[in-house]
Amino acid sequence: MEIFGISLQFLLIQLLLGLVNGSFYAMLSLGLAIIFGLLNVINFAHGALYMMGAMLAWMGLNYFGLNYWAMLLLAPLVVAAFGILIEKTMLSRLYKLDHLYGLLCTFGIALLLEGVFRSFYGVSGQPYSVPPLLAGGTNVGVMTLPNYRLWVVGASLLVCLATWYVIEKTKLGMYLRAGTENPKMVEAFGVNVPRMITLIYGFGVGLAALAGVLAAPVTQVSPLMGSNLVVVVFAVVVIGGMGSILGSIITGLALGVIEGLTRVFYPELSATVVFIVMAIVLLVRPAGLFGKGH
Amino acid sequence: MKLKVGIYPVIILALVAPLYFYPVLLMKVLCFALFACAFNLLIGFTGLLSFGHAAFFGGAGYIAGFVLRDLGLSFELALFAGTGFAAAIGVVIGFLAIRRQGIYFTMITLALAQMIYFIWLRAPFTGGDDGMQGVPRGTLLGVFDLTNDLLLYYIVLAVFLGSYFLVWRIVHSPFGQVLAAIKGNEARAISLGYSVNKYKILAFVLSSALAGLAGASKTVVMGFATLIDAHWIMSGTVILITLVGGLGTFFGPVVGAIIIVALENKLGALGGFLASATSLEWFRGLEASTSIVMGLLFVLCVLAFRRGVVGEFNHIIQRMRKRRVKEGLIDQKNGTLHSVP
């Protein structure tokens, strides 16, 4: 079967690859949005912490014999603890200053992390095999789709929607939204806002690390895997606007799909299509698709 | 205006410097200093943080290389083409980026610069990952042969001083005052009737053109142009240079450029010293991992040293003056201080 001279199989597999990338974009931009909402810091280290998650998964397997499933739980926790340390020792000193200092500080942390991992592991990628449980593929009629990729899309969607549910529908989420709106008032009501901020940063970067572990068998694990990704995720955030949780999830997935389709129809543009979409959105709707004004 | 007196000995130092240092290294410092001055025009005097200045620096470098190597034209045309190209993409990026404020502005400049990076990666004449090699220096006005390092040094110095003076004039012009107003309180500048966006875009284009001039000069000096100059790490480097020297000070970018270029050059030696001092072999790899040192510097500067070298210096002098005024050592009238230049 062919559509526009392109086989359906190729189209479907690229669509799935696009969705896989899109779910990484969604998880990363979601974390960025939550962190920005409460901390007013754009976390430039997000890509590096995503890389750290993947590297930890690899290290866990190769040094301690911990399998994929153990690291899927452990790596985000370790990175979250690391994030809490960063927040406590560095970022918390910068909240009173201009936003740009938070960005520059996390940029420095990103360089530092990438540099340290690179000094030990070089720039070449380390292979990380798919866990046995998810090896192989599922037949969907016209073709076989790899199980692991389906799992990545399903798992990240689940995590994103759970996050959305907690933030929009629970009491904890209510505090959080209130803290984004007016931290002083929330503090006056007896909520420990500084602790909430710390935990949210830990949660956001933990999400990035989870995406990293999920990505480990898909892409090769290398110290540089997060450095270009973070720029794309920034563009995703600009397109979606950081006002809405559901908005960042949808934007992330949609851009992944657009990227996948570009790879089918016009591969030369696949690396830049997200930025082109960003430029168009800025011209048509400067506040972003889900943004609320400036 | 303090710097007005201080500038002459510095110029004299710059004139005699090639007697003591390798001219190519000095020219590299000058190119980065000019790059940082251009960047500082935005961050220091307009309050806009661009994370995409590598697009102008690296792009102009490629265009200058193209003009010199592939078209075989002269030096001044290469600089002119590079600067013009940077200004042109500055118009486009600036026009898109000023549609959002604050942190979004920064992310947009970063993303658009990354897009241009991918264009260079694929363009036929840039040599992709290998870079554009073997760019000749050409001749000045078709007469003076620039293979002479010393001659080129004085020309680059002249270009730098001219641009430095231009930035000085811009900042102290009525236009510069409006930029300062935008930095201080954008909403108020709007309510006073200034069309802020026009001023922002003009400042952005001026800054990108000067960054392009720096990039074009660097290609001529080094004889090659690479993707490194167009990558966002370079945008980070120029931020670091300005931050270390002092945001919003005139002399800061120059001091920052000296520190960062010297550090990059001496990193291997430093690593070797640390390795022998601490007997940790890991330090020997320091030369390869500039990013660790850059990252550390970033974090340190942001957390503890936000004024930068020149800013801190000015701050100390100001505080001493204030104390003297308090103690009655300086007459209140004559002792009134200028705000930080």
Does the pLDDT of residue A294 top 60, yes or no?
no
Does the pLDDT of residue A264 top 90, yes or no?
no
> Does the distance separating the beta carbons of B112 and A275 come in below 8 Å?
yes
Instruction: Give me the pLDDT at residue B339, please.
Output: 47
Q: Rounded to a whole number, what is the distance in Å from the CA of B124 to chain A's nearest CA? A: 13
Q: Is A11 part of any domain?
A: no
Higher pLDDT, A182 or B17: A182
Domain containing A166 equals: 19-117+147-223
Q: Both ends of chain B: CA-CA distance in Å? A: 6
- Chain length of chain B: 341
Enter the tokens of residue A253. Answer: 């997935």
Report yes or no: A282 and B109 within 8 Å, Cβ to Cβ.
no
For chain A, the domain total comes to 1
What is the C-alpha separation between B43 and A79, in angstroms, rounded?
Answer: 33
What is the sign, positive or negative, of the torsion defined by CA atoms of A273, A279, A280, A285?
positive
Q: Is A195 part of any domain?
A: yes
pTM of the model: 0.87
> Does the distance separating the beta carbons of B115 and A276 come in below 8 Å?
yes
**Which has the closest alpha carbon to A46: A159, A177, A160, A210?**
A210
Instruction: Give me the pLDDT at residue B1, please.
Output: 43
Instruction: Give me the pLDDT at residue B340, please.
Output: 45
Helix (H, G, I), strand (E, B) or coil at B251: coil
- Chain-centre distance for alpha carbon A153: 13
Q: Between B110, B297, B302, which is nearest A234 by CB?
A: B110
What is the sign, positive or negative, of the torsion defined by CA atoms of B312, B318, B319, B321?
positive
What is the C-alpha separation between A30 and A208, in angstroms, rounded?
Answer: 9
DSSP-derived secondary structure for A147-200: HHHHHHHHHHHHHHHHHHHHHHHSHHHHHHHHHHH-HHHHHHTT--HHHHHHHH
Q: Is A52 part of any domain?
A: yes
Q: Between B103, B122, B292, which is nearest A119 by CB?
A: B292
Enter the tokens of residue A290. Answer: 């889900």
Higher pLDDT, B318 or B9: B318
Interface contact B197, partner A, CB < 8 A: no
Within chain B, residue ranges assigned H as helices are: 3-16, 23-43, 54-65, 75-97, 102-122, 149-172, 174-184, 186-191, 196-222, 232-245, 252-278, 290-304, 308-326
Enter the tokens of residue B300. Answer: 């340190």
Q: Between A119, A238, A268, which is nearest B107 by CB?
A: A238
- Give the list of residues 6+ apart from residue A40 with CB closer than 8 angstroms, or none: A95, A99, A102
Does the pLDDT of residue B79 top 50, yes or no?
yes
Enter the tokens of residue B199. Answer: 């001023």
Residues of B in contact with A278 (CB under 8 A): 108, 111-112
Instruction: Give me the pLDDT at residue B217, please.
Output: 92
Helix (H, G, I), strand (E, B) or coil at A290: coil
Interface test with A, best of B299, B306, B307 (most A CBs within 10 A): B299
